Amino acid sequence: MLLSKSFIPILKNNPSEAKIKSHQLMLRVGMMKQASAGIYSWLPLGFKVMKKIEEIVRQEQNKIGAQEILMPTIQSSEIWKESGRYEDYGEEMLRIKDRQNRDMLYGPTNEEQVTEIFRSSLKSYKSLPQLLYHIQWKFRDEIRPRFGIMRGREFYMKDAYSFDISDEEAFYSYNKFFLSYLRTFKRLSLTAIPMAADTGPIGGNLSHEFIILAETGESKIFTDKRIFDLNTNETELEKNSLEQMRKKYEQYYSVTDEKFNKDEFEKVVSEENRLITKGIEVGHIFYFGDKYSKAMGASVDLPGGKKDFVKMGSYGIGVSRLVGAIIEAKYDDKNEIMKWPSSVAPYDIALVPMINKNDTSALDKAININKELIKNNIDSLIDDTEENFSSKIKKMNLIGAPYQIIIGKKSEGDLLEFKEIGKDTQNLSLTKIIETIKKQKNSN
Ligand code: ATP
Ligand code: MG
């Protein structure tokens, strides 16, 4: 893609209305644009990143056997009246009347909708377990939408739902999602810590929030530092291994302020291991048994002829919030360098030819290099403008492709001036560069 033809409206300076670095950067490089309070249009750069995050989330859901569906954004109030949440949800729910004067709503979450789908289709324990998910826009009329897409009113969420025959089986499903969350955040190059959480309006008795550390986060957290050293890469999708994995995390004290108890914290965590800081909630999983299935009559036939309500859990990931969360974790705002993890970078590499009015040979060279990159499935952004070198690099540093090739005096013959963003340059052949990028991409 040529920069001159791209839709990347870059601002010279940080917009003053943005208080945290993700909001600043997203406005600065035109990743999104506010449409109204807490509601955004996604522009090409931001949309590319979000779609890549979405795809990783999807792959990791599929790996644990979850099946993708797509439920609507607009729901009927009837099912919410059945569950009792139509009144309880309060002002965060956007209520709409259709032309027949029926009460509709823009879904803030989908427990009711998915329970309705389940109860009308499946009747036997033999169909269990079922793990269903969708990736869809949600609307919550947040009282204080802020920090850009981090706390929007309209936001993009992956929400999954599990249906099981017993508590024991339901915990197995819960643990599958627990593992898939750890894997997902790792592929996004984030360290997300599972923390015991309150179940809030969703209700129920087992819940974890997945939180990444960030000074600007809205969740206050209290943890035993040793939890950061855990690694679960090799865990198998088998009942006992998953149980062990969750226990490994649960052995360390790790809670948000809703669950915090000072005496307990000081008793179980030695002083040198205590960490009190802030974080961003990027995911939240709940087990709530038959809360919705009972209220809405979602039952299955059991082996002996009896019936029972299915045991359910729900599992959310803030896909749009993750764009901001990754920026909070990776943006060096002092030096104005964004280092996108290669798994979600909007472009794999930036090409920066030094162009003079009467000499376009560097641009020609960049275009030839790009032909090779395209053959190798490497997506590049070429700065074909005549701006001076330092402002070109500044811009590419903000856009944040993980690698850069500078095509000028030092890129003579076969050796190109190449660098990983924010690091020193080296001279490499195009073949070597392609190899390096492909290796990095394959490791995602
Ligand atoms: P929060 O405590 O941040 O308000 P929540 O507990 O209400 O979130 P959940 O119902 O658990 O949110 O939703 C699942 C995920 O969706 C959250 O972990 C978060 O990543 C994301 N999310 C929730 N609300 C918003 C929002 N207003 N804007 C962007 N993402 C959100
Ligand atoms: Mg939550």
Domain regions of the chain by residue span? 21-332, 347-442
Q: Which value, to the nearest 10 degrees, does the dihedral of the CA atoms of residues 13, 19, 20, 23 take?
A: -60
User: Residues 204-251: pLDDT tens digits?
Assistant: 568 999 999 998 898 899 999 999 999 877 789 999 999 999 999 999
List, in sequence order, every residue forming a beta bridge with 342; answer none if it has no partner: none
Rounded Cα gap, residues 315 and 184, in angstroms: 13
Instruction: Please give the class, per CATH, of domain 21-332.
Output: alpha beta
Q: Compute CA distances 146 → 66, 162, 200, 273, whole Å.
A: 32, 32, 21, 33
pLDDT recorded at residue 138: 98
Range among 14-23, 126-135, 218-227 with highest mean pLDDT value? 126-135
Nearest to residue 270, comparing CAs of 221, 225, 211, 220? 225
Nearest CA to ligand 1 atom 19: 318
Q: Compute CA distances 137 → 39, 48, 74, 156, 355, whole Å.
A: 11, 17, 10, 4, 43
Which numbered ligand comes closest to the C-alpha of 152?
1
**Do 332 and 189 contact (CB within 8 A), yes or no?**
no
Global pTM value: 0.96
Which CATH number among 3.40.1390.20, 1.10.1240.10, 3.30.750.200, 3.40.50.800 corresponds to the domain 347-442?
3.40.50.800
Nearest CA to ligand 1 atom 25: 151
User: Residues 29-52: pLDDT tens digits?
Assistant: 999 999 999 999 999 999 999 999
| pLDDT at position 286 over 70 | yes
User: Residues 323-364: pLDDT tens digits?
Assistant: 999 999 999 999 999 999 999 999 999 999 998 878 889 999
281 Cβ inside 6 Å of ligand 1: yes
| 48-85: burial string, b at 16+ Cβ within 10 Å, e else | bbbebbbebbbebbeebebeebebeeebbbebbebbeb
Which numbered ligand comes closest to the C-alpha of 109?
1
pLDDT recorded at residue 440: 93
142 Cβ inside 6 Å of ligand 1: yes
The answer to whether domain 21-332 and domain 347-442 are alike in fold is no
- 40, 93, 157, 326, best to mutate for ligand 1 pocket (most atoms within 8 Å of CB): 157
159 Cβ inside 6 Å of ligand 1: no
**Do 150 and 25 contact (CB within 8 A), yes or no?**
no
Confidence of residue 199 (pLDDT cuts 50, 70, 90): low
